[in-house]
Amino acid sequence: MDRQQAVRVVAFAVGAFNLMLGVWAFIHPASFFERLAAFPPYNHHLLHDIGAFQVGVGAVLLAALRVRDALLAALIGAGAASVLHAASHIIDRDLGGRATDPIGVSLIAAAVLLAALWRARAGDEEPSDQD
């Protein structure tokens, strides 16, 4: 295996690992806390947010393996994290925070997804050095 292949294998393995851990923390935060991240006190919403952003790390690494455009890969990862972060604030709105949090983080998620869509639609255009 050459160096480039090794880099791709590491990116895939770490991306998949982070994606898996992030989904676990987001979907089953109590289980994630009990089995892996037992740093008291337990905070349901914080583990949702950690899961959201860990999914984003995994998504950006996996996207970078599929798309040639670094900015698009970053927007895909940030979009995945932002959508789950918005979902976290919607699901956990009864646990605290401000009433405007779900709206604010949802607007951020929408902006990132729109930017990713615009970038992807640019499609066949080669990204310039200035991008």
Band the pLDDT of 131: cuts 50, 70, 90. low
Q: Which two tokens stand for residue 58?
A: 């995994």
* Integer Cα distance of 106 and 90 in angstroms: 9
The predicted pLDDT at position 1 comes to: 87
Give the CA radius of gyration of the chain.
17
Q: Which residues contact 69 (CB under 8 A, 6 or more apart)?
A: 119, 127, 131
pTM above 0.85, yes or no: yes
Q: Is 81 exposed, middle or buried (0-12, 13-18, 19+ CB in 10 A)?
A: buried
Q: ω into residue 41 within 30 of 0, thus cis?
A: yes
* Integer Cα distance of 128 and 131 in angstroms: 6
pLDDT digits (tens, 9 = 90+) for 35-64: 999 999 999 999 999 999 999 999 999 999
pLDDT digits (tens, 9 = 90+) for 62-99: 999 999 999 999 999 999 999 999 999 999 999 888 99
